[in-house]
Amino acid sequence: MDCMKGFHQNGVKPNSMKLLRIICHMGIYEYTRMPFGIKNEPSHFQRMMDTIFQEEIFGGRMVIYIHDIIISSEKWEDHVQHIDRVLSECTPINLKNSLKKCNLGQQ
């Protein structure tokens, strides 16, 4: 699975917005979502994903590298349950996955 526009799904705290300002002839703009190119964003996003899915990771059912998710299961029935659980965790935090980049049920 691939988290769609992963970094942009991560909000910026109000006290950090001033650090991400863009000033131009049209005015001052502040990011409300994390932009690409911020030095610490990959580690921040990885930590967020590890925290959200810690049970699946420690259970040996999942590996996450930044915005890419691999779910493994021994049985098909378990695999369907694991995918459902991951998607259920994504919904409340509005974490979207790219359907085009999802490869489900692969061996």
For residue 24, what pLDDT is reported?
A: 93
For residue 9, what pLDDT is reported?
A: 74
Q: What is the pLDDT of residues 73-95, one digit of tens each?
A: 888 998 898 888 888 888 888 78
For residue 59, what pLDDT is reported?
A: 83
Structural domain boundaries in the chain: 6-101
For residue 8, what pLDDT is reported?
A: 74
Alpha-carbon distance of 80 to 35, in angstroms, equals 33
Residue 43 scores a pLDDT above 90: no
